[in-house]
Structure 1
Amino acid sequence: MNRRSAVAGGLIALGLGGRGAAQSARLRTLAEGLVGAGAASPRSAVVRIERMSGDAIFEAAAGEARPDTRALMTAQTPFHHASVSKVCTAILILQMAEAGAFGRRGIDARFSELGVLDRDVQARLLRVDGRDVAPDITLRHLLTHTSGMRDAIVDDAERIGGPAPQSLMGGLLGPGRDPGKRWIAWDPRRPEDADAGVLNLYLARGMGLAGLSTPGARFHYSDTAFVLLALLAERMGRAPYHELVRRRISVPLGLSGLYVAYRDDPKALGPARSPEAEVWFGPRPLLSGGFSLSFDWGGGGTVSPARDLTRLWRGLAGGELFRHRSTFDAMTSWIAPPGLAAPRTGVGLGLFRVAYPGGELWGHSGAWGARMWCDPQRKLVLAGTVNQVMADGPWHFPFFAAAADEAKP
């Protein structure tokens, strides 16, 4: 394999194979362009591209990973995945469905019948026009973001997104709140305390009483749904979520660098989360500034270098995590419910399909700038991040176009 490393303008790139220098130069130029000079521009980035066979095509890192230690971003730097982690939660649920944990109905089982929440809490989970429709929510609805539930991270009972003032993120970014608070998913002892947990906030702020739609009627992206799924995984798996991820996903695939932040941390991590790559909110550094991302959890709590994400996708698509090939086929049986907007063209079970100039991609993105996507036609997989909250646009699209040329014999 032809290997060439280069350092230019803060870029550390490794061209791996391909037809020659031209395509590698194009990929290096794209990687270098991910890091900008403006206050709201990404300050660091990493991208890795592989064939589905496992052969690496390109890997590059650019910029400064940490403003406090001045450490450079490298291919080995761990970064926060945000919602890319939902793929892990979906994997756990589908593994349990294969094992019969939800009975004959599998993922069409009703969430309310699986014993995760008490009856009085369940009755406040989803009301539409004053009517309790929570008993109609199935695991399939939760996995496809069609439950009708609001997203406690960015929505509140009055507004959608923003983040809304009474949402979890809206509160943390506002005055008078503790940005370093360590969040848990759910505290059943204090269901009315909005600070007790993510689901507590959802209930206490009346989000469940202002349901968006009946289950199955529309698409609305909801982290709340994946909090419920992770709680269900813990109940059925009889172990903490981070232990299930490690035992059922990381160990089988050899993902030595993947862990669930704030739950399964390496011992070397301190309060500022170094050496994890910094996450920026505009000009504001979150991790080194003491901002806790612990609320992500089952909806977005995993961390790893890019290499572990490409391996995760290859293991998932290659059938290494399921008993039956049909389970991955079910994950990628796309539906297009009302409310699903471009570039998304389909939602599966914890996965999305999007249209891009080269065709279509399967995978997931995260709000902290992370990406894990596959071009199934060209058999290419990409993982990486720009470590910038709500990073602008599909930064990974041009890499797939350039990598398609690089991958040609």
Structure 2
Amino acid sequence: MSKQVQDAYIVAANRAPIGKAPRGAFKNTRPEELLMHVIQATLARVPGLDPQAIEDVIIGCAFPEAEQGLNIARVSALLAGLPVTVGGVTVNRYCASGVTALAMAADRIRVGEADVILAGGVESMSMVPMMGNTPSVSPHIFEQDEHLGLAYGMGLTAEKVAQRWSVKREAQDLFSFESHQKALKAQATGEFNDEIAPFDVTTRSPDLQRGQIDVSQQLTAQDEGPRADTSLAALSKLKPVFAQGGSVTAGNSSQMSDGAAALLVVSEKALKQFNLTPLARFVSFAVRGVPPEIMGIGPKEAIPAALKAAGLKQDQLDWIELNEAFAAQSLAVIEELKLDPKKVNPLGGAIALGHPLGATGAIRAATVVHALRRHALKYGMVTMCVGAGMGAAGIIERV
């Protein structure tokens, strides 16, 4: 028997500050600690909710192994104090893991299978490196030329996009510089305050002479990535790191980062039952594939699909969080779809703020939810390219 379609509402959205990896504030902070923190901060926003009503915890993680293994969603949910009756599942769609988790939660609610689900994402690139600890590429990839792109590093795919869409080095550096400037301004004006749950970093140091462990705490309340000392001159001096004679550098690529976010998604029934105030409605989500060697262009296919599913036109979008995996692919997507640059990443993007892989989609969803309310806007979008040749896009409406 088919379920009746209903709306899915976001009633709380929080994230941790984004730390620089591998030597930033969270270098020694386990990922489940970050996730526990944002789960608790999110639930603190809805004191009227009975935790027993939460039916599942869906968490995105791009490399769910080692410190991020053992189903980190379930482990973190229990450690955060949720009842043992609450389920947990970790999902992986690389850089779209966090927004995929949010979409999965919304889907369960929309078809009537659940009324309260916690969604989010987590990633510690300090503890689990890019590609994981023991990457192993299938030899079958090399048997057919059309699959070779699956073995490309992400930086090389950015070079392929830059070449095919004629994105010049100067434009990439300017885009990167502007990302930092927007992020610095956003921090100075408190644009992120509503979404960030400050995190106390605990450091334990052994004192062998006294035979004891010294414990200290440092409050981290802002993203570590934005650099006030960045300049076009400095960016222009950086050498390409992925291809000889290329244009993609460390300065015009996203930063390796640590972070986590959580959003509470509920049905209209739950809104009434627990007297909750909706912040936003999750409208639609789409994933589309592209050739793996130009994975960065993925949003150009996913964005139109998400708009069609929502019954919206592109010019109805007021705020677009386009994940800046690389300046090259961001600029190519903007040009290909004729996105309004003023609506794209008004507070800066991953080049300045950081990109904790599987957490980013949930982090940027939290940004959209709060930005739409602060600026009295209607529709926002979270979109990104995805490894192995995909694009993802989710649309959120302020209510």
Q: TM-score, normalising length from structure 2?
A: 0.25
- Normalising by structure 1, we get a TM-score of 0.25
Higher strand share: 2
Structure whose residues are more often helix by fraction? 2
